[in-house]
Amino acid sequence: MRIDNTAAIVTGGASGLGAATSQALAERGAKVFAFDLPASVETAPGGTGIEYVAVDVTDPDQVVAAVGQAAGSGLPLRTVVNCAGIGPSMRILGKNGVHDLALYAKVVQVNLIGSFNVLALAAERIAETDADEHGQRGVIINTASVAAYEGQIGQAAYSSSKGGIVGLTLPAARDLAQYGIRVCTIAPGIVDTPMLATVSDEFRAGLAAGVPFPKRLARPDEYAQLALLIIEHDYLNGETIRMDAALRMAPR
């Protein structure tokens, strides 16, 4: 599927994986609508071809309005990449007691329900566009994690939310096939995003040492590169692709 002269939505688009993907899509000629929370939009890096939209992905009304903005840009809405997410950790039973239920619900609400909310509402607008010569209308890429498969101690909420994304992938692809919309998921390993910026170099080196090869952390631009490949590879559908350098997470 072509990227140039189309509209694209990237959630979590102001930083990390989302920022790298927004930039990559814009460089390929897409008009990118980068969704993120207001505070993140205020400090977004900017860029030609990228329009930042303050939106909470868990709020249906805000998403309807933001998706409508992208769909009304004058270019066909073809691409959605869901990168918005949070990753707090807590043990099910720890020194301070039982896992906070509100925190568990919030992680699932943002990571899983937020992704589904954008997927469903964007798919509705993508389905209204004219198909290309191959019957395609669009592609939606969600973000899981290797934690969906090998969640570590303290990752019960995060792993649950990302496992839900993996489980969503195939039925979503099947549901949307009749509209010419593909659905895939990327499951990254340890990526060098702003979330890791606060840890020490020693700790980062320890993380990299556990990666088989290449023995380093992944880069956000490598995620973006894979997203572009999925968009342009018309036969990729209903699949979760691990981007982890053969990493299999240990319990801790």
Rounded Cα gap, residues 166 and 239, in angstroms: 9
Length of the chain: 252
Q: Which of 138, 133, 143 is nearest to 173 (CA)?
A: 138
Rounded Cα gap, residues 35 and 37, in angstroms: 7
Which residue type is seen at 229? L
Give catalytic status of residue 158 as yes or no. yes
To 10 degrees, what angle do helices 101-108 and 156-176 make?
30
Q: Which two tokens stand for residue 76?
A: 């066909």
Please give the torsion angle defined by the CA atoms of residues 140, 189, 24 and 39, in that order, rounded to the nearest 10 degrees.
Answer: 90
Q: Which helix (H) or strand (E) holds 98?
A: strand 97-98
Asked if 70 and 35 count as a contact pair (C-beta separation under 8 A), the reply is no
Q: Which two tokens stand for residue 77?
A: 């809405």
Which residue type is seen at 206? G
Which residue type is seen at 22? S
Give the strand pairing for 50-54 and 77-82.
unpaired
Asked if 105 and 34 count as a contact pair (C-beta separation under 8 A), the reply is no
* Residue of 52, 158, 179, 223 marked catalytic: 158
Which sequence positions are flagged as catalytic? Answer: 158
